[in-house]
């Protein structure tokens, strides 16, 4: 019998978005990795090219967390795979309003929400994500998987937009 994680990693690898999906998952893991006190004072907002961006309540918290940065990166990479997160940038800018969606925690029609404004997945991509996630029985895991895949695909769109079309 194939483990769920192996099946998901295989699907994501075939889609070419395994690393992006792992990086997107870092946002969801933030509170678990840093603990409740730090989680109340900080929130991971997005992940781009292995850099996790974290909004913090104050510059004092930004300083405190920056002193723990190496340990936090190690803990995240233990969950996500070696080299997934390479840096963390702390931004003393307060928090997003309740209910606001962070870029890395977007999802597909499979219970995960919509892609960020200006970055929409095609109907075919949404159907593909729904089909991949349909085999996952647990609704929370299914929704998390759909959010991670969607975020990774949106990240691929953004990267292509920044670097221009691929040349063959």
76-128, pLDDT tens digit by residue? 999 988 888 999 999 987 654 443 334 433 333 333 444 444 456 777 787 78
Determine if residue 77 is left, alpha or beta; phi over 0 gives left, psi from -120 to 50 gives alpha, anything else beta: alpha
The DSSP call for residue 87 is: E
What DSSP assignment string belongs to 31-75?
Answer: HHHH-HHHHHHEEEEEEETTEEEEEESSHHHHHHHHHTHHHHHHH
Query: pLDDT digits over 55-89, tens only?
Result: 999 989 999 999 999 999 999 999 988 888 999 99
Asked whether residue 79 is domain-assigned, the answer is: yes
**Is the distance from CB of 86 to CB of 116 less than 8 angstroms?**
no
Residue 163: per-residue pLDDT: 52
**Is the distance from CB of 108 to CB of 149 less than 8 angstroms?**
yes
For position 62, which CATH number holds? 3.30.300
Residue 101: how many other CB atoms lie within 10 Å: 16
Asked whether residue 168 is domain-assigned, the answer is: no
Residue 68: per-residue pLDDT: 95
pTM, rounded to two decimals: 0.54
**Is the distance from CB of 77 to CB of 84 less than 8 angstroms?**
yes
What residue numbers bound the domain in which 106 lies? 4-22+101-163
How many domains would you assign to the chain?
Answer: 2
Of 92, 111, 132, the last residue of a domain is 92
Q: Are residues 16 and 39 in the same domain?
A: no
Of 92, 124, 144, the last residue of a domain is 92
């Amino acid at each position: 019998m194939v483990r769920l994680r192996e099946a998901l990693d295989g699907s994501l690898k075939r889609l070419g978005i395994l690393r992006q999906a792992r990086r997107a998952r870092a946002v969801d893991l933030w509170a678990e990795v840093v603990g409740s006190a730090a989680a109340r004072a900080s929130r991971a907002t997005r992940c781009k090219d292995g850099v996790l961006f974290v909004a913090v309540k104050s510059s004092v918290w930004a300083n405190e967390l920056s002193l723990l940065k190496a340990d936090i990166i190690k803990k995240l990479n233990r969950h996500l795979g070696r080299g997934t997160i390479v840096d963390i940038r702390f931004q003393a800018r307060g928090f997003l309003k309740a209910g606001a969606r962070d870029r890395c925690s977007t999802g597909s029609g499979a219970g995960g929400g919509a892609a960020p404004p200006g970055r929409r997945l095609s109907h075919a991509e949404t159907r593909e994500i729904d089909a991949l996630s349909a085999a996952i029985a647990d609704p929370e895991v299914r929704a998390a998987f759909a959010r991670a895949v969607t975020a990774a695909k949106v990240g691929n769109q953004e990267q292509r937009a920044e670097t221009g079309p691929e040349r063959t």
